[in-house]
């Protein structure tokens, strides 16, 4: 009986080969010659339709540890044999990536490159990119080693760098980490720029603010008394324990009567940014939330899966309501390793948990469950699952391809059905079928090469992502609590917006209040209340009007003294501006160029935040290298110097234009 069954299956597989040959040609009707005759492969073991894997994912690390031992013993030939076994097992288990081994190879290449062996480093990086094409560090490592070996191999290095970028963007963990890091650095840089701008704006007009506060009191009030009161008004939020944020409001209110229209606009932008901070923080936290079960599922589906990831997912599977993605990923792993009974149980659990899921997710689970049934020798139940998958998603090629394999096991009487299903699969996805079969006519009897699995649909991860995003929701409340201080959390958004309206309103009152100004020549206050000879419209104090405009009845000694004072002020103004310009942009704000000053401050703030958060807010899912990159240190330092030099040159040009 076994012999007849084996013979019947061998004949059926031979018929399937003929169909595969017809489908593999670009256009069957254009090829007159029949496909080449290939001898049927040896039949699978009795009771099996395909050969199940002998080794599991856990054996990968055993082979890799053995390779390491051989390298330590300087036995290169045996080490290469172990590398070949790792390659074979990766292919046998249909694993897309071996992240752990590839990361070890990247670290090995760094050590080899440091030892002065770029050829060996490039070899290790090339193997890492082969074993884990989805690991960006493997491709960047290959680019670095390629240039170290041959400085003129720029095109190869660029190609490897482009592959690293594509891999990073395709990995949700890395792409979200990159987005969260970029957003976090931008947010910190913006906040630092906003704080610096408000402080510099207050320093620019502090003299005028203190002078006008003095006029609020009777003539007998002393300067030191009114100066203390002016400081108390500014620091009142801290004295009243209202928090740090209202201090920004008082600083802006203090300069509202003196600020220009551009400065008022930028101040309002600062307040709006402050009001939007809770929303931006929550959004950033949602982007960064991809790091729990969703990341574990993705890593298991795209790679070998670490013991910690497997343990976390298995514990999550024991919950009352397990997620479809968790059961699907564990089932797919069990099927790849030949544990068919466990795979069947898990796929059924995935289908039970996936009620209401997308049609693509359900079709993938039915197709893969059909593969498990067919590998168990139950072609009828497998065909029923394939049909359900096709009903759910009629443009999915995998169930048609797998159904052709199931029909082929029925004998030569099923030849027409085999041809029809395989033709339909090729029509739907010829590149995918050719990639799976490797363009070979012979049927691969290994279980993971005999039937085509559908990978985890991205929509299956949505419930896990949403659950993780809900965990990030309290970030909004935490930020509001910090900003609002002792006030209700809702004040964190309302108060900055009200402060912006108050800031604009105070600025609009300047025509009625007529605050003091600054003399452009000597820097003294231009105040009609102190001296009626002052000319606010010309920005000249009474002394400068008498000395430089009227020029009559002025003692020559006083004129010389005033000219010396004017020169000292202009020199002091230049020195102070350039000293503050150590923080690029600060000098521009102090001299009254707020827009260009904020641009330089923002560039400096972004660079400074990249230094403070050197490793980013999130790390890569696969730890490869944690030491400092000298290339990045050099690039960051060069950017700092470049921004500072351009800023200083621009500031000097503006000062020369003022003096002309």
The pLDDT of residue 31 is: 35
Question: Of 172, 382, 131, 468, which Cα lies nearest the Cα of 298?
Answer: 172
In this structure, the number of other CB atoms found within 10 A of the CB of residue 305 comes to 22
The pLDDT of residue 46 is: 62
The pLDDT of residue 29 is: 36
The pLDDT tens digits of the residues spanning 450-491 come to: 999 999 888 888 888 888 777 777 888 888 888 887 888 888
Give the 3-state secondary structure of residue 618: coil
Q: How confident is the model at residue 546 (pLDDT cuts 50, 70, 90)?
A: confident
Angle at 424 between CA 418 and CA 427, to 5 degrees: 140
Residues 6+ positions from 544 with CB-CB distance below 8 Å: 519, 521, 522, 524, 562, 566
178 pLDDT above the threshold of 90: no
The pLDDT of residue 533 is: 75
DSSP bridge partners of 517 = 526
The pLDDT of residue 139 is: 93
113 pLDDT above the threshold of 70: yes
* Residues 44/377, Cβ–Cβ less than 8 Å: no
CATH architecture of 58-170: Alpha Horseshoe (1.25)
The pLDDT of residue 441 is: 58
The pLDDT tens digits of the residues spanning 383-427 come to: 999 999 999 998 999 999 999 988 888 755 678 888 888 899 989
The mean pLDDT of 563-567, rounded to a whole number, is: 86
Q: How far is CA 290 from CA 167, 281, 303, 324, 332, in A?
A: 17, 15, 17, 17, 22
Q: How confident is the model at residue 288 (pLDDT cuts 50, 70, 90)?
A: confident
The pLDDT of residue 18 is: 40
Q: How far apart, in whole angstroms, are the C-alpha atoms of residue 58 and residue 331?
A: 16
Q: How confident is the model at residue 172 (pLDDT cuts 50, 70, 90)?
A: confident
Give the 3-state secondary structure of residue 87: helix
Q: Which residue has the higher pLDDT, 469 or 201?
A: 201
Rounded-to-10 torsion of CA 199, 202, 204, 207? -140
Q: How far apart, in whole angstroms, are the C-alpha atoms of residue 360 and residue 366?
A: 10
The pLDDT of residue 617 is: 67
Concatenating the DSSP letter of every residue in 212-254 gives HHHTTS-TT--HHHHHHHHHHHHTHHHHTT--SHHHHHHHHHH
Question: Of 171, 245, 262, which Cα lies nearest the Cα of 618?
Answer: 171
The pLDDT tens digits of the residues spanning 50-73 come to: 888 888 888 888 999 999 999 888
647 pLDDT above the threshold of 90: yes
90 pLDDT above the threshold of 50: yes
The pLDDT of residue 163 is: 94
Lowest mean pLDDT across 123-127, 175-179, 256-260: 175-179
The pLDDT tens digits of the residues spanning 215-261 come to: 888 777 788 888 888 888 888 888 887 778 889 999 999 999 999 99
The pLDDT of residue 10 is: 43
Q: What is the DSSP letter of 623?
A: -
Q: Which residue has the higher pLDDT, 558 or 133?
A: 133
The pLDDT of residue 2 is: 37
Rounded-to-10 torsion of CA 363, 366, 371, 374? -130
Q: How far apart, in whole angstroms, are the C-alpha atoms of residue 369 and residue 350?
A: 10
174 pLDDT above the threshold of 70: yes
* Residues 373/382, Cβ–Cβ less than 8 Å: yes
Question: Of 114, 146, 116, which Cα lies nearest the Cα of 129?
Answer: 146
Q: How far apart, in whole angstroms, are the C-alpha atoms of residue 487 and residue 547?
A: 54
Which uninterrupted H or E stretch holds 188?
A: helix 172-214
Helix axis angle, 462-472 to 261-288, nearest 10°: 130
Lowest mean pLDDT across 18-27, 149-158, 192-201, 487-496: 18-27
Domain boundaries, the chain: 58-170, 516-571
The mean pLDDT of 264-280, rounded to a whole number, is: 93
The pLDDT of residue 364 is: 93
Angle at 13 between CA 378 and CA 408, to 5 degrees: 45
The mean pLDDT of 147-160, rounded to a whole number, is: 92
525 pLDDT above the threshold of 70: yes
Q: How confident is the model at residue 553 (pLDDT cuts 50, 70, 90)?
A: low
The pLDDT tens digits of the residues spanning 355-395 come to: 878 888 999 999 999 999 999 988 889 999 999 999 999 89
The pLDDT tens digits of the residues spanning 494-521 come to: 999 999 999 999 999 988 888 888 888 8
625 pLDDT above the threshold of 80: no
What mean pLDDT value characterizes the chain? 84
Q: How far apart, in whole angstroms, are the C-alpha atoms of residue 162 and residue 171?
A: 14
In this structure, the number of other CB atoms found within 10 A of the CB of residue 485 comes to 17
């Amino acid at each position: 009986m076994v012999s007849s069954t084996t013979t019947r299956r061998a004949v059926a597989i031979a018929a399937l080969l003929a169909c595969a040959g017809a489908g593999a040609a670009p256009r069957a009707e254009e090829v007159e010659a029949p496909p080449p005759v290939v001898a049927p492969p040896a039949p699978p073991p009795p009771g099996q339709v395909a050969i199940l894997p002998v080794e599991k994912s856990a054996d990968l690390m055993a082979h890799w540890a053995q390779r390491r031992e051989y390298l330590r013993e300087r036995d290169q030939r045996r080490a290469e044999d172990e590398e070949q076994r790792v390659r074979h097992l990766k292919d046998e288990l249909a694993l897309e990536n071996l992240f752990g081994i590839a990361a070890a190879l990247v670290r090995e290449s760094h050590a080899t490159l440091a030892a002065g062996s770029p050829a060996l480093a490039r070899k290790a990086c090339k193997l890492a990119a082969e074993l884990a094409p989805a690991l960006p560090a493997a491709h960047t490592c290959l680019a670095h080693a390629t240039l170290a070996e041959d400085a003129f191999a720029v095109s190869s290095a660029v190609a490897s760098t482009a592959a690293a970028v594509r891999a990073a963007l395709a990995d949700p963990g890395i792409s979200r980490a990159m987005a969260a890091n970029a957003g976090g650095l931008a947010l910190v840089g913006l906040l630092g720029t906003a704080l610096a701008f408000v402080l510099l704006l207050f320093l620019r007009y502090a003299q005028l603010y203190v002078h006008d506060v003095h006029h609020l009191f009777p003539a007998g009030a002393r300067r030191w008394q009114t100066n203390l009161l002016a400081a108390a008004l500014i620091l009142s939020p801290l004295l009243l324990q209202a928090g740090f944020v209202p201090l920004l409001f008082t600083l802006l209110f203090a300069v509202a009567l003196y600020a220009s229209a551009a400065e008022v606009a930028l101040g309002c932008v600062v307040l709006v940014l402050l009001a939007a901070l809770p929303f931006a923080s929550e959004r950033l936290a949602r982007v960064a939330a991809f790091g729990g079960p969703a990341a574990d599922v993705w890593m298991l589906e795209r790679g070998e899966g670490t013991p910690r990831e497997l343990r976390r997912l298995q514990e999550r599977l024991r919950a009352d309501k397990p997620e479809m993605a968790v059961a699907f990923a564990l089932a797919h792993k069990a099927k790849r390793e030949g544990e068919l009974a466990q795979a069947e149980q898990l796929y059924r659990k995935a289908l039970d948990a996936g009620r209401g899921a997308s049609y693509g997710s359900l079709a993938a689970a039915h197709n893969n469950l059909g593969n498990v049934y067919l590998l168990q020798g139950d072609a009828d139940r497998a065909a029923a699952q394939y049909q359900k998958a096709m009903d759910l998603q009629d443009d999915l090629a995998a169930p048609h391809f797998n159904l052709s394999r199931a029909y082929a096991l029925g004998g030569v009487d099923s030849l027409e059905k085999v041809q029809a299903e395989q033709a339909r699969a090729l029509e739907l996805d010829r590149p995918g079928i050719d990639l799976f079969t490797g363009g070979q006519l012979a049927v691969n009897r290994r279980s993971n090469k005999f039937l085509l699995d559908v990978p985890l649909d991205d929509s299956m991860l949505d419930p896990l992502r949403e659950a993780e995003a809900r965990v990030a929701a309290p970030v909004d409340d935490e930020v509001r609590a910090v900003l609002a201080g002792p006030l209700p959390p809702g004040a964190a958004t309302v108060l900055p917006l009200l402060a912006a309206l108050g800031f604009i309103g105070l600025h609009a009152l300047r025509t009625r209040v007529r605050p003091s100004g600054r003399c452009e020549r000597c820097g003294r206050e231009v105040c009609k209340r102190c001296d009626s000879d002052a000319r606010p419209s010309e920005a000249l104090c009474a002394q400068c009007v008498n000395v430089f405009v009227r020029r009559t009845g002025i003692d020559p000694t006083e004129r010389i003294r005033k000219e010396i004072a004017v020169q000292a002020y202009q020199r002091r103004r230049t020195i102070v501006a350039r000293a503050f310009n150590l923080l690029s942009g600060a000098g521009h704000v102090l001299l009254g160029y707020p827009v260009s000053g904020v641009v330089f401050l923002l560039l400096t703030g972004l660079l400074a935040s990249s230094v403070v958060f050197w490793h980013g807010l999130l790390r890569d899912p696969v730890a490869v290298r944690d030491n400092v990159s000298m290339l990045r240190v050099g690039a960051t330092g060069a950017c700092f110097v470049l921004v500072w030099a351009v800023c200083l040159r621009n500031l000097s040009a503006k000062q020369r234009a003022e003096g002309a």
